[in-house]
Structures are given as C-alpha cells and as structure tokens.
C-alpha cells in the first residue's frame, strides 16, 4: 500500500471519529440529567474528546510530514537542476550516453577490444570534467549517509546518470581504477545502490554475481565486451565496479568490509 493510500485511509478514520464525537455529544445533551444512558454517553463522549486531542496531534503530524516531503522534493529538484545546468556535467554525460548506446564513432572497436576507449579524458575541454561529474555523486553519497535524502528518490532520478559513468570504461580506467585519484565513496555508493536494486527486485544477487564474473573475464581477454553486454543488458549490471578487482576478497578489503 502506498504512502498516499495509507494517509487517505487514516484521514477517513479520523473523520469518522470526529463525526461520531459530534453526534454523541448532541445526543448526550438531549438526555435527562439522571439517565443511566446519559451517564454512559458522558463517558463515551469523554473518551471521544480524548480521541479528538489525539486526532489533532495526528493531523499536525501529517501536516509536518507533508511539509517535509515538499521540502525534500524541492531539495531533490534543486540537485537535479544543479546537474543539468552544469555544462561540464552535460558534456560528460552526453559522451558517456553515446558510448553506452553505441552511438560513438568507434564503438565497435571499443566494445571488441578491452584496452580500447572510444572517448578519453583529454577529449574534453578540461580533464577535471570527469572528476567533477563523479564529485557530484560523491555529494549524493554524503547526503544518503547523513539520511538527508532517501535512496528511492535518488534511484528514480539519478540511476542512469550514475551508472552510465560508474560503469563506463572511461571512468573506470581514468578515475575509479586509477591510484592517482581517490573515489572510494563512488565504489561504496555503487555497492549500496546495487543492494537497493536487488532488494527492490530490479535484478537478483545471482545476476550481479554472474555479471561480475563475466566482466572479470572481459578484463583478461577471456570474453569480449560485446558478449558480456548481450548477457547483461541492464546498465547497472554492465561492468560493475567489483569486476575491477581480481577477487571479491580484494574488493571487500578495499571497501573495508
């Protein structure tokens, strides 16, 4: 049941409580002073009066939650605006998306040779564009860690933009698998994000494990990237960051698990 439906049911129940309270109060006023029925009604009205206070508190809570949701929605929209208004982020995104969708000029060579990249860091106006793109998602990770935002919001809005970068050959070779740079938070974020997708049925742990095994083969030339991509069409399963490590023990050690 969605949050909206739960709230609607709660409002209906509270409305019934209030209406019942009013009706019983009117009946109680019409009863003789010494009537036993009147005494019983007085007790019931008193009870409903207490429920009325509780109702008021609940309504206040709902209003507060609505305001928080509105503020969160505004905050998330602000993050999105910051991303799309950055010419540098858009330039990197367009290049990565073109590569992912096989629209770059040398995509066949790129997908058939493990060490070939159809786009390179020096192909942008400034190589810092790549780092800035990843830093944006480093900020997302901090916000998630501090529980300022929730993963369901982030997943709906930023999933493709994150995985098209984190799972790109360019980003992995130039930044994420490069000792000159420290983007450990991106690996931690990806791990958290993949677990969220598994928990919400986008794919299974077995699917992810199979993908990691296949892209490890790609890295050592035992399988072509074209073959691996055909087996794993979902972008979140293409070239997972865990596959950059030869074993799961190395990966877990790096993440401090």
Residue 191: which pLDDT band, with cuts at 50, 70 and 90?
Answer: very high
pLDDT of residue 209: 98
Q: What is the DSSP string of the chain?
A: --HHHHHHHHHHHHHHHHHHHHHHHHHHHHS-TT-HHHHHHHHHHHHHHHHHHHHHHHHHHHHHHHHHHHHHHHHHHHHHHHHHT-HHHHHHHHHHHHHHTT-STTHHHHHH-TT--SS-GGGSS-THHHHHHHHHHHHHHHHHHTTSS-HHHHHHHHHHHHHHHHTSHHHIIIIIT-TTS--HHHHHHHHHHHHHHHHTTSS-HHHHHHHHHHHHHHHTTSS-HHHHHHH--SGGGSS-GGGGSSSHHHHHHHHT-
Whether the per-residue pLDDT at 71 is higher than 50: the answer is: yes
Query: Poorest-confidence range of 18-32, 43-57, 94-108, 184-198?
Result: 43-57
pLDDT of residue 64: 45
pLDDT of residue 176: 92
The tens digit of pLDDT for each residue in 114-140 reads 666 666 666 676 678 888 899 999 989
Average pLDDT over residues 18-31: 56
Interacting residues of 48 by C-beta distance below 8 A, sequence separation 6+:
17, 20, 21, 24, 25
pLDDT of residue 215: 96
More confident residue, 182 or 189: 189
The tens digit of pLDDT for each residue in 37-64 reads 555 555 555 555 554 544 554 554 445 4
Sign of the Cα torsion 62, 64, 66, 72 reads: negative
The tens digit of pLDDT for each residue in 207-240 reads 999 999 999 999 998 998 889 999 999 999 999 9
């Amino acid at each position: 049941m969605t949050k909206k439906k739960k709230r609607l049911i709660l409002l209906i129940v509270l409305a019934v409580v209030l209406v019942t309270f009013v009706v019983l109060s009117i009946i109680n006023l019409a009863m003789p002073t010494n009537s036993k029925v009147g005494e019983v009604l007085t007790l019931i009205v008193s009870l409903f009066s207490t429920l009325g206070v509780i109702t008021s508190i609940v309504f206040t809570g709902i209003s507060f939650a609505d305001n928080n949701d509105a503020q969160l929605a505004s905050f998330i929209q602000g993050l999105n605006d910051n991303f799309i208004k950055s010419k540098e982020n858009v330039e990197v995104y367009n290049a990565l998306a073109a590569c992912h969708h096989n629209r770059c000029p040398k995509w066949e060579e790129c997908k058939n040779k493990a060490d070939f990249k159809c786009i390179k860091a020096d192909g942008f106006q400034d190589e810092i564009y790549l780092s800035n793109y990843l830093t944006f998602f480093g900020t997302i990770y901090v916000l998630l860690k501090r529980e300022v935002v929730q993963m369901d919001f982030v997943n709906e809005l930023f999933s493709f933009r994150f995985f098209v970068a984190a799972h790109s050959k360019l980003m992995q070779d130039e930044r994420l698998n490069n000792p000159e740079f420290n983007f450990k938070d991106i690996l931690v974020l990806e791990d958290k994000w993949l677990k969220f997708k598994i928990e919400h049925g986008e794919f299974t742990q077995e699917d992810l494990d199979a993908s990691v095994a296949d892209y490890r083969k790609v890295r050592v030339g035992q399988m072509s990237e074209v073959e691996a991509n055909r087996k794993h069409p979902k972008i979140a399963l293409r070239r997972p960051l865990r596959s950059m490590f030869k074993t799961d023990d190395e990966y877990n050690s790096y993440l401090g698990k």
